[in-house]
Amino acid sequence: MMPQHRILVTGANGFVGRWLMPALQDAAGDEPLELYGCGRGPGCDIALDIRDEATVVRVLRELHPTAIIHLAAIADPQEARRDPVTAWNVNFTATVNLARATLSEVPDCRFIYAGSSETYGQTFAETKGEAVTEGAALRPLTVYGATKAAADIALGRMYRDGLRSIRFRPFNHAGPGQTAAYVLPAFASQIARIEQGLSEPVIEVGNLSAYRDFLDVRDVVRAYALAALGKVTGVEGQVFNLSSGRAVQIGTILDILIRLSGRRIEVAVSQERLRPVDIPLARGNAERAFQVFGWTPRFPVEETIAAVLADWRQRVSASRSES
What is the pairing mode between strands 211-213 and 247-249? antiparallel
pLDDT at residue 44, rounded to an integer: 87
The arrangement of secondary structure in 183-209+247-279+309-322, i.e. its CATH architecture, is: Alpha-Beta Complex (3.90)
Q: Is the dihedral of CA 205, 216, 180, 49 positive or negative?
A: negative
pLDDT at residue 242, rounded to an integer: 98
CATH code matching the domain that covers 5-175+215-245+283-298, chosen among 3.30.565.10, 3.40.50.1240, 3.90.1150.10, 3.40.50.720:
3.40.50.720
pLDDT at residue 319, rounded to an integer: 81
Does the fold of domain 183-209+247-279+309-322 match that of domain 5-175+215-245+283-298? Answer: no
Helices then strands (H, E): number in the chain? 12, 13
Domain range list for the chain: 5-175+215-245+283-298, 183-209+247-279+309-322
pLDDT at residue 274, rounded to an integer: 66
Q: What is the pLDDT of residues 169-196, one digit of tens each?
A: 999 999 999 999 999 999 999 999 999 9
pLDDT at residue 1, rounded to an integer: 45
- Using 70 as the pLDDT threshold, list the residues of the chain that sit under it: 1-3, 273-277, 323
162, 180, 59: which is closest to 110 by C-alpha? 162
> Half-sphere exposure of residue 319, counting CA atoms within 13 Å on the CB side?
11
Strand partners, 37: 9
